[in-house]
Amino acid sequence: MAGGKKEVNAKNFYIVATAPNEPTLQVKISGPYLTEQAAQADLAAAIDGAMDIDPSAKTYNYSISHLESHKPGVIQHMAAHV
């Protein structure tokens, strides 16, 4: 890229789904987001998207977490392969 490197945060916000009967089972469903406010704004849509993929997602607990990762959430990953 001309003009320098694009800065990428190592730690970003993700919407995380946690299985109610297995709290150690957590899946990043959406993100990365640069701010918690951006993740919050997308929370309802991300939950709807998760339920479209897997109807049992309605039983999961959802939260916004600040995680170290460069990998996209499940929804972004699937959208990239459609």
User: Is the confidence at residue 59, as pLDDT, over 70?
Assistant: yes
DSSP state of 21: T
Give the phi and the psi of residue 22 in degrees, each rounded to 5: -145, 80
Mean pLDDT along residues 31-58? 93
User: pTM of the prediction?
Assistant: 0.77
Mean pLDDT along residues 61-78? 84
Domain spans of the chain? 11-80
CA nearest neighbour of 28 among 81, 77, 80: 77
